Amino acid sequence: MIRINENYTKLKASYLFSDIAKRVAAYSQAHPDKSIIRLGIGDVTEPLPPVCIAALHAATDEMANRATFKGYGPEQGYAFLREAIAQHDYAARGAKIEPDEIFVSDGAKCDCGNIQEIFATDIRIAITDPVYPVYVDTNVMAGRTGANRDGRYEGITYLECTAANGYIPALPNMPASGEPVESVDLIYLCFPNNPTGAVATRAQLTAWVEFARKNKAVILFDAAYEAYIRDPQIPHSIYEIDGARDVAIEFRSASKTAGFTGTRCAYTVVPKSVMGYDAAGKAHPLHALWNRRHTTKFNGVAYPIQKAAAAIYTDAGQQQVRALTDFYLGNAKLIREAMAGLGLKCIGGENAPYIWVNTGRDSWQFFDLLLEKAGVVCTPGVGFGQCGEGHVRISAFNSRENVEAALQRIAAALK
């Protein structure tokens, strides 16, 4: 008899964004004449930067010619891309990352979900609340949690992010209130944050790095939205913090930076100095474990896609990506202003493409209200965790025309 991985039965029935898609599809079917504007899932709408398109065309021509055709590439990514990343995303910001510490992949979601495989199943994990659901669900699937009780899994240390702490979590043994909690081994941090749009200062990240060093813990730092940082004081990478090379793994993506959600290219940095420990306390470089996992289970990103990603790092590419992210930040500003005009408190949207709105009411009810009365899709905050109750996330990823229309419709619906 074939048996299932029963950890899957602990999960909520479906993934948050599938849930929302189903509700929207049902509404659409019932009201085929109503137009719907989607400010829910963070999916980009604007075309790829011209440099990426040119690189894709050129690489496609190379694939059409026996002399330049490419079969399997290196699983970790071509040197031309890894070198460009090391230079532009790290050396240029004073962070020392070698090209061979970079693993090119098809998405930060996959990497954030897969990385937990290289850690023991009985470690203690710390996850912010609210949080991008992938970090939680993949640990549930792996058996690192108990049952879900009232929206929280047993065995996870939740780091609450609320207005009271500026949406930046306190260190696990120093909660803003309440009893100290036990120590943690693996900490998921995401800045600029999905869903709140909050950013962490150098001092806040330094405290986390020191905590991880002291506790032989590892930080998984999701920096998928770093291209939206405009405040020059805010670090773009955890490796801008002294000592982070020994305790942090970082995830980056071209999805939100250069519109690659449908094109798929991302990367994970595992410095050779980050260690994990076996049961006897012996140190092992995590780089070797991730390399083993990556080469066993992944065959590399398509050559034309890596060429398109490398084009982002040319001068023209950097200008085009800046224009693209500026465009979405322009939408974010309109959303923030409109919410404030409606008397709703919100954060985010200044160094991030998400606006976290305190609706003062049940977040699914507010979601339904916007869908039914305004034909606008947002994301209910409670879908990101208990602390998200009362909030919704509005995404700035859409055309200007749609954002403006959505804001007018929301204002009319809330009158």
Of 42 and 317, the one with the shorter C-beta distance to ligand MLT is 42
Q: How far is the CB of 191 from ligand MLT (least distance, A)?
A: 14
Find residue 157's DSSP bridge partners: 126
How far apart are the C-alpha atoms of 335 and 380, rounded to whole Å? 16
Q: How far is the CB of 61 from ligand MLT (least distance, A)?
A: 31
Of 59 and 382, the one with the shorter C-beta distance to ligand MLT is 382
Q: How far is the CB of 94 from ligand MLT (least distance, A)?
A: 28
Q: Residue 170, class by beta-carbon neighbours within 10 Å (0-12 exposed, 13-18 middle, 19+ buried)?
A: middle
Residue 407 in 3-state DSSP? helix
Question: Contact at 8 Å (CB) between 172 and 189?
Answer: no
Antiparallel, parallel or unpaired: β 248-253 and 218-222: parallel
Residue 10 CB-half CA count within 13 A: 23
Does the N-terminal peptide bond of residue 192 adopt cis geometry, omega within 30 degrees of 0? yes
Of 255 and 320, the one with the shorter C-beta distance to ligand MLT is 255
Of 271 and 353, the one with the shorter C-beta distance to ligand MLT is 353
User: Residue numbers of the site for ligand MLT (CB under 6 A)?
Assistant: 41-43, 109, 132, 194
Helical (H) or strand (E) element with 404? helix 400-414
For the chain, give the longest Cα–Cα distance. Answer: 66
Of 16 and 59, the one with the shorter C-beta distance to ligand MLT is 16
How far apart are the C-alpha atoms of 181 and 68, rounded to whole Å? 57
With CB atoms as reference, the residue minimizing the distance to ligand MLT is 42
End-to-end Cα spacing for the chain? 59
b/e map of 6-41 (b: 16 or more CB within 10 Å)?
eeeebbeeeebeeebbebbeebeeeeeeeebbbbbb
Of 109 and 294, the one with the shorter C-beta distance to ligand MLT is 109
Main-chain dihedrals φ then ψ at residue 152, nearest 5 degrees: -130, 145
Q: How far is the CB of 130 from ligand MLT (least distance, A)?
A: 11
Q: How far is the CB of 153 from ligand MLT (least distance, A)?
A: 19
Q: How far is the CB of 390 from ligand MLT (least distance, A)?
A: 19
Of 194 and 196, the one with the shorter C-beta distance to ligand MLT is 194
Of 95 and 406, the one with the shorter C-beta distance to ligand MLT is 406
Q: How far is the CB of 379 from ligand MLT (least distance, A)?
A: 7
Of 42 and 169, the one with the shorter C-beta distance to ligand MLT is 42
At 265, list the tokens: 């290219």
At 335, list the tokens: 């959303």
Q: Residue 98, class by beta-carbon neighbours within 10 Å (0-12 exposed, 13-18 middle, 19+ buried)?
A: middle
Q: How far is the CB of 30 from ligand MLT (least distance, A)?
A: 24
Query: CA 11, 395, 49, 258 torsion: positive or negative?
Result: negative
